[in-house]
C-alpha cells in the first residue's frame, strides 16, 4: 500500500483526533481567557497557587494526569458519577473523555500565550478609554480584546497541536478503543505493537509531524504580529 494512502481505520483515527482537538480548544478557550486575565491583571491571595495548578500538567507525567482524571471524572469518580446521573454525561472510555484529557493538557499553553499578550498591552490605552466613561466590559471588548486576538489565536493553535499529539493522559483515562477513543497518537502506538504495522505507523507519524510543524509556524507568525502591533503602539 502506498505510503500516503490511508486506510479507513487511519482516516477514522485522524478525523477523531481533529474532532477531539477542536472540541478541547473550543470549550477551554473561555476559561483560558478568564484565567489568563486574572493572572495578568489581578493580585489576589493564592495567585501563585493558581498559576502553579494551571501549569501543573506540563510538569506531571501525563499518566498521572490521566489517572487523576479517571478517579475524578470516571463513572465512580466524585464528579463523573454526578455528571452521569444528573446529565447522562460520561467521560471515561468515551471520545468526550479524550477531549477532556486533551483540554487539560493543552490548557497551560493556551493560558500562557493569552497572558503574555495581555502583559504586552499598554494599559494606558485601557485607562484612556475608562476616563471617557466606558465601563470595564466595554473597554475589554473594544480595546483589550482586539489587541490580544493574535495571542488568543496563537494559544489556541498551540493547544490544538498539543491536543492532537496527546497520548499518555488520554490512553490512561479513556483507553485505546478504535473508532471511539483511538486518536493519532494511540493509533501509532497500536500499529507499532503488531506485525506489519510499521507502514501505517509511519503514515500517521508523517501526518502528525506536518500538523504539528504547521501549528508551530502559525503560532510563530502570530507571535511576530503581536510584537509588531505592540511596537506600533
State pLDDT tens for residues 168-213: 999 999 998 888 889 999 999 988 888 888 888 888 898 888 888 8
Question: Under a CB-based contact definition with an 8 Å cutoff, are residues 190 and 176 in contact?
Answer: yes
Q: What is the pLDDT of residues 28-44, one digit of tens each?
A: 999 999 999 999 988 88
Give the CA-trace dihedral at 38, 40, 46, 51, to 10 degrees: 100
State yes or no: pLDDT of 231 exceeds 70.
no
Query: CB neighbours of 144 closer than 8 A, spacing ≥ 6?
Result: 118, 121, 126
Q: Where are the alpha helices (DSSP H) in the chain?
A: 8-41, 47-59, 62-73, 78-87, 95-120, 123-131, 136-139, 145-165, 168-174, 184-192, 198-232
Q: Which three cell numbers stand for residue 68?
A: 487523576
Cell 446529565, residue? 87
* Cut 0.85: pTM above it: yes
7-33: average pLDDT: 91
Query: CB neighbours of 4 closer than 8 A, spacing ≥ 6?
Result: 203, 206
64-77: average pLDDT: 91
State yes or no: pLDDT of 8 exceeds 50.
yes
Report the percent of the chain where pLDDT is more than 90.
Answer: 39
Longest dimension (CA), the chain: 70
Handedness of CA 80, 81, 87, 88 (dihedral sign): positive
Question: Under a CB-based contact definition with an 8 Å cutoff, are residues 40 and 233 in contact?
Answer: no
Amino acid at each position: 500500500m502506498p505510503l500516503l494512502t490511508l486506510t479507513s481505520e487511519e482516516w477514522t483515527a485522524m478525523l477523531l483526533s481533529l474532532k477531539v482537538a477542536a472540541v478541547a480548544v473550543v470549550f477551554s478557550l473561555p476559561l483560558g481567557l478568564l484565567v489568563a486575565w486574572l493572572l495578568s491583571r489581578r493580585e489576589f491571595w493564592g495567585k501563585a497557587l493558581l498559576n502553579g495548578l494551571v501549569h501543573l500538567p506540563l510538569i506531571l507525567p501525563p499518566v498521572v494526569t490521566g489517572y487523576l482524571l479517571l478517579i475524578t471524572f470516571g463513572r465512580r469518580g466524585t464528579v463523573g458519577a454526578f455528571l452521569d446521573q444528573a446529565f447522562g454525561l460520561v467521560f471515561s472510555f468515551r471520545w468526550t473523555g479524550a477531549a477532556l484529557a486533551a483540554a487539560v493538557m493543552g490548557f497551560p499553553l493556551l493560558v500562557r500565550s493569552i497572558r503574555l499578550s495581555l502583559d504586552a498591552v499598554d494599559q494606558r490605552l485601557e485607562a484612556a478609554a475608562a476616563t471617557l466613561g466606558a465601563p470595564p466590559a466595554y473597554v475589554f471588548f473594544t480595546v483589550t480584546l482586539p489587541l490580544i486576538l493574535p495571542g488568543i489565536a496563537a494559544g489556541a493553535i498551540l493547544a490544538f497541536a498539543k491536543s492532537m499529539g496527546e497520548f499518555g493522559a488520554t490512553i490512561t483515562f479513556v483507553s485505546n478503543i478504535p473508532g471511539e477513543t483511538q486518536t493519532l497518537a494511540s493509533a501509532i502506538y497500536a500499529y507499532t505493537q503488531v506485525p506489519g504495522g510499521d507502514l501505517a505507523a509511519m503514515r500517521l507519524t508523517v501526518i502528525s509531524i506536518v500538523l504539528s510543524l504547521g501549528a508551530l509556524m502559525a503560532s510563530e507568525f502570530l507571535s511576530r504580529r503581536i510584537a509588531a502591533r505592540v511596537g506600533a503602539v
